[in-house]
Amino acid sequence: MGTAKKIMITFCLLILIGVAAAFYLWNKPHQNVANAAAVKTNAVSLYKVFKSDSIAANKKFTQQVIEVSGTVNRVSKNQQNQTVVLISTNTNGAYINCTLEQDSKNIQPGQLINIKGICNGIGQGDADLGIKGDVYLVRCYLDQ
């Protein structure tokens, strides 16, 4: 068998493996956040960890299910009409930003709350404008 044929067969096999891997990842089932075991923390501690050592915090928390407790600062809707809850962190202008999977009309500012979601890390904010970065949780559920 010639060298060109070997290269062509290897190339075709690599493409086939890549397509199979992409198909598997595309159809991979989502993690059930509501019933998943979670790392428990409070909003103040979580934000402090990200601000003091964001590299270590990213390794420990990013893409992990986290249960955060704290005081609701504000409740709003995003462009997809999902409920977004901002939990206070004791740092002025910085929050734990939680996007809920279900609609929850009974959440009020000042309320103590436990929310479970997947951590996406800390946003950059804008130092020139004095905007702090929030820590983001997605696919969140109220934890009873």
CATH number at residue 91: 2.40.50.140
Are both 126 and 57 inside the same structural domain? yes
Each residue of 27-63: pLDDT tens digit? 877 778 878 889 999 999 999 999 999 899 999 999 9
**CA 93 from centre of chain:** 19
31, two tokens: 């993690």
**Residue whose entry in the numeric block shows the structure tokens 């050592």:** 53
Are both 105 and 129 inside the same structural domain? yes
Are both 21 and 47 inside the same structural domain? no
The structural domain count of the chain equals 2
Are both 75 and 120 inside the same structural domain? yes
Are both 61 and 7 inside the same structural domain? no
Q: How many CB atoms lie within 10 A of CB 58?
A: 16
Are both 52 and 25 inside the same structural domain? no
pTM tops 0.75, yes or no: yes
pLDDT value, residue 115: 95
Each residue of 114-133: pLDDT tens digit? 999 999 999 887 777 777 88
pLDDT value, residue 1: 67
Domain encompassing residue 95: 39-142
